[in-house]
Structure 1
Amino acid sequence: MLLGVIADDFTGASDIANTLARGLPGRGGLRTAQFLGVPRASAPANIEAGVVALKSRSIAAGEAVAQSLAALDWLLAQGCGQIVFKYCSTFDSTPEGNIGPVGEALARRLGVAGVVACPAFPTMGRTVYQGHLFVRDRLLNESGLEHHPITPMTDADIRRWLARQSRDPVGLVAWQTLSAGPASLRAALDQAAAHGERLVIVDAIRDADLVTIAEACREDVLITGGSGVALGLAENFIRRGAVRGGAQTVAGVAGPEAILAGSCSGATRGQIDRHIGGHPSLPIDVDAVMAGGVTADQLAAFLLAEAGRAPLVYSSATPQQVRSLQQRYGRERVSGTLDALFGEVAVKLVAQGVRRLVVAGGETSGAVASALDLGALTIGPEIDPGVPVLVSQGERPVALALKSGNFGGPDFFEKALQRLEGQ
Structure 2
Amino acid sequence: MLLGVIADDFTGAGDIANTLAKGMPDVTGQAGGLVVAQYMGVPDRQADPAIEAGVVSLKTRSIPVDQAVAQSLVALKWLQAQGCRQIVFKYCSTFDSTPEGNIGPVAEALADALGVAGVIACPAFPTLGRSVHQGHLFVHDRPLNESGMQNHPLTPMRDADIRRWLGRQSKAPVGLVPAAVVRAGSEAVATALRAAAAKGETLAIADASTDEDLVTLGRAAAWAPLITGGSGIAIGLPANFIRAGLAAGTATRFEGVTGPEAILAGSCSGATRDQIEVHRRDHPALAISVDDVMNGITTSHDLIGFFRQNVGKQPLAFSSGNPHEVAATQTRYGREAVAGRLDELFADTARQLVDGGVRRLVVAGGETSGAVAQALDLGDLRIGPEIDSGVPILISQKRGIALALKSGNFGRTSFFAHALDALSGSAFDRRQ
Same fold (TM over 0.5): yes
User: CA separation in 2, counterparts of 1:422 and 1:205?
Assistant: 33
For 1:364, the aligned partner's letter is: T
Of 399, 403, 407, the residue aligned with 1:404 is 407
2:299 is the alignment partner of 1:299: no
Number of the residue aligned with 1:267 = 271
User: CA separation in 2, counterparts of 1:135 and 1:238?
Assistant: 32
Query: Do the aligned partners of 1:250 and 1:378 also contact (CA within 8 Å) in 2?
Result: no
Per-residue CA deviations over 1:320-366 (Å, capped at 9, x if unaligned) read 00000000000000000000000000000001000000000000000
2:23 is the alignment partner of 1:20: no
Of 119, 127, 134, the residue aligned with 1:130 is 134
Paired residue total: 422
Per-residue CA deviations over 1:270-308 (Å, capped at 9, x if unaligned) read 000000010011000110110001111110121122110
2:419 is the alignment partner of 1:416: yes
2:386 is the alignment partner of 1:382: yes
For 1:316, the aligned partner's letter is: S
User: CA separation in 2, counterparts of 1:253 and 1:62?
Assistant: 40
Number of the residue aligned with 2:4 = 4
Number of the residue aligned with 2:373 = 369
For 1:191, the aligned partner's letter is: A
Deviates more, 1:403-412 or 1:27-36: 27-36
User: CA separation in 2, counterparts of 1:251 and 1:168?
Assistant: 49
In the TM superposition, 1:4-403 aligns within 5 A as 4-25=4-25, 26=29, 27-394=31-398, 396-403=399-406
Cα displacement (A) at 1:239: 0.5
State the secondary structure of the residue aligned to 2:137: strand
State the superposition RMSD in angstroms: 0.7
State the secondary structure of the residue aligned to 1:116: strand
Return the TM-score normalized by structure 1.
Answer: 0.99
Detail structure 1 runs of 4+ shifted over 6 Å in the superposition: none
State the secondary structure of the residue aligned to 2:164: helix
Per-residue CA deviations over 1:95-114 (Å, capped at 9, x if unaligned) read 00000000000000000000
User: CA separation in 2, counterparts of 1:397 and 1:264?
Assistant: 30
User: CA separation in 2, counterparts of 1:277 and 1:141?
Assistant: 32
User: CA separation in 2, counterparts of 1:3 and 1:177?
Assistant: 26
User: CA separation in 2, counterparts of 1:244 and 1:30?
Assistant: 8
Per-residue CA deviations over 1:102-153 (Å, capped at 9, x if unaligned) read 0000000000000000000000000000000000000001111111111000
State the secondary structure of the residue aligned to 1:5: strand
For 1:78, the aligned partner's letter is: Q
Per-residue CA deviations over 1:134-173 (Å, capped at 9, x if unaligned) read 0000000111111111100000000000000000111001
Cα displacement (A) at 1:375: 1.2
For 1:301, the aligned partner's letter is: G
Per-residue CA deviations over 1:217-268 (Å, capped at 9, x if unaligned) read 0010100000000000000001011011021223211110000000000000
Cα displacement (A) at 1:28: 2.1
Cα displacement (A) at 1:42: 1.0
For 1:318, the aligned partner's letter is: N
Query: Do the aligned partners of 1:38 and 1:70 also contact (CA within 8 Å) in 2?
Result: yes
User: Identity of counterpart residues, as a percentage?
Assistant: 65
Query: Do the aligned partners of 1:28 and 1:246 also contact (CA within 8 Å) in 2?
Result: yes
Per-residue CA deviations over 1:164-212 (Å, capped at 9, x if unaligned) read 0000111001000110000000000000001110000000010000000
State the secondary structure of the residue aligned to 1:4: strand
The unaligned stretches of length 5 or more in structure 1 are none
User: CA separation in 1, counterparts of 2:296 and 2:185?
Assistant: 59
Query: Do the aligned partners of 1:119 and 1:227 also contact (CA within 8 Å) in 2?
Result: yes
Cα displacement (A) at 1:44: 1.1
User: CA separation in 1, counterparts of 2:400 and 2:225?
Assistant: 34
Query: Do the aligned partners of 1:18 and 1:388 also contact (CA within 8 Å) in 2?
Result: yes
Per-residue CA deviations over 1:59-99 (Å, capped at 9, x if unaligned) read 00000000000000000001101000000000000000000
Return the TM-score normalized by structure 2.
Answer: 0.97
For 2:140, the aligned partner's letter is: R
